[in-house]
Amino acid sequence: MSRCAFLAVALLAVACATEAPPQPAPSEPDSTRRNVVVISVDTTRADALSCYAEQSHWGLAFPPESRPKPQTPVLDSLAAQGTRFAWALAHAPTTLSSHTSMLSGRDPHRHGVVRNGYPVSADIPLVTERFAEAGWDTVAVLGSSALELKMALNRGFRDYHDPGPQPPGGMYMLPATEVTRRALERVDARSQAGTADDPLFLFVHYYDPHMPWLFAPPAFTSRFVDPAYSGYVDGSMPSVGKLTTARREGTLRYGDARQARALYLAQVAYADHQVGVLLKGLGTRGLLDDTVVMVVSDHGETLDESAVHPYTHGPEVALWDIHVPWIVTGFGDDNPVPKGVVVQQPVRLLDLAATASSVAGLGTAFGDGADLSPLWHGRATGPQPPIFAEATKPMKRESTDKWNNLPFERAVVEGPTLTRLRPLDRGLASLHRIAPGAPSIDDIDRLKAQVSLLQAWDAAAPAHRPAEYDAETEAALRTLGYLD
């Protein structure tokens, strides 16, 4: 990258903070009353799905003939039957913050969730409350304790089913088969609750692509791994630690890096299969009639791309950390989602709440988000807002007197470009194209303009928020790898 593609933040004036946009009142519900099913597949890069091949950053340094390739037939089919957002972008590479953006329509500076373990404040409205008030039956089944009941995303849900208390040595997560089983079990229990005739808002969270990569059955793993591989990479956290050390020291072997990618893809493929089992189960119960299904991820994953923070998520906001899949598919005679549409405009994950509300007929705005359905009909939605994202690690370097995440890497996407700002690295910034591999761009004026946008966003950040973990939550976060 050329020297003028970097810029020290100290040389730029801080832009004035702007007030948060007003929140329009929701429109009156219409008579459609569609079911809405939101499926979140945790830690899934967009390019871990084969239908995102055209936007793939996947293994660009690997010989093409030997790269392990994604295999996600269920999600590919949903994309072909509906609309796929080619460049959906998350606002933080951490589970709770990102899911809060989905359900609140706000980015981290507006919802105030620092990272996992910081509950959602009671004064942040959630779109599930709108659904509940309008008569939807709201059910959630969560695959990870990162979204446990104590994190307060349960507001508006009649039934919020997290992994529950764990025995000593527990994993604090559920494998995909168990998530699917519990989701269908909770749906079947609606008759006992007297809500079987109400429209359904169902939220299902699969956690399997998150490390450790241990839960995909051999039938899935064998599709991706090299049968001749005999190294140390087995998907366990100790093996990931060895990968991390080797990448940082410049000694990572090609075969080990390939095996890691293969195991990750096997986990995604396993989750893809379970999404298919879930949808088949909903279909046999008549719950895919007049239904919109959204499949999304909360954030991506850095594999061997970074020499500084490999095999993790949290410290960076490169495209492979924040570029996520988002597929919307309609079922039934009154299907509002066209088939085979690919929206190329970058979109915000915080728009999910408004878009879900819109397809259910409950209003076209929520929080700071906007309804994206005009995009899949080929209509403009007005000026494209900037898309902000911030890292949430390393925690030992967080701010103690201002918003916790201000020292960490941050990014803004405006139009076809992304700027990454690294306060911990001498305040350097770099400009990239929104494209496979995120190529660098030499445009100092655009770089300055985008850094100014980031500074204005940071100037409006909330105050410092202290951590208040209880012992059980701390144990869960440590087991899941979320504490340094």
Tens of pLDDT along 24-40? Answer: 334 344 457 999 999 99
Burial of 383 (0-12, 13-18, 19+ CB in 10 A): exposed
CA distance 353 to 20: 17
Q: Which of 427, 429, 471 is nearest to 447 (CA)?
A: 429
CB 103 within 8 A of CB 353: yes
Query: What's CA 440's distance to the chain center, in Å?
Result: 24
Helix, strand, coil abundance in the chain, percent, nearest 5 = 35, 15, 50
- Residue 370, φ and ψ in degrees, nearest 5: -130, 155
Tokens for 148, please give them. Answer: 């446990």
Q: Is 172 helix (H, G, I), strand (E, B) or coil?
A: coil
Q: Is 373 helix (H, G, I), strand (E, B) or coil?
A: helix
CA distance 130 to 8: 44
- Written as one letter, the residue type at 346 is P
Tell me the CATH number of domain 33-383, given options 3.40.720.10, 3.40.1390.10, 3.40.50.2300, 3.30.930.10: 3.40.720.10
For each of the chain's 484 residues, which pLDDT tens digit applies? 433 333 333 333 333 333 333 333 343 444 579 999 999 999 999 999 999 999 999 888 888 888 899 999 999 999 999 999 999 999 999 999 999 999 999 999 999 999 999 999 999 999 999 999 999 999 999 999 999 999 999 999 999 999 988 777 777 899 999 999 999 999 999 999 999 999 999 999 999 999 999 999 999 999 999 999 999 999 999 999 999 999 999 999 999 999 999 999 999 999 999 999 999 999 999 999 999 999 999 999 999 999 999 999 999 999 999 999 999 999 998 899 999 999 999 999 999 999 999 999 999 999 999 999 999 999 987 789 999 999 999 999 999 999 999 999 999 999 999 999 999 999 999 999 999 999 999 999 999 999 999 999 999 999 999 988 888 888 888 888 887 6
Residues whose CB falls within 8 Å of the CB of residue 91, separated by 6 or more in sequence, listed in order: 97, 98, 101, 107, 108, 322, 348, 349, 350, 387, 388, 389, 390
| Alpha-carbon torsion (459, 454, 319, 21), positive or negative | positive
CA distance 321 to 299: 6
**CB-facing half-sphere around the CA of 483: CA atoms within 13 A:** 11
pTM of the model: 0.92
Tokens for 359, please give them. Answer: 């397809």
Residue with tokens 């239904």: 291
CA distance 362 to 92: 27
- Written as one letter, the residue type at 334 is D
Q: Which of 395, 397, 428 is nearest to 411 (CA)?
A: 428
Q: Evaluate the omega torsion of the peptide bond into residue 394 and state whether it is cis, within 30 degrees of 0.
A: yes
**CB-facing half-sphere around the CA of 27: CA atoms within 13 A:** 14
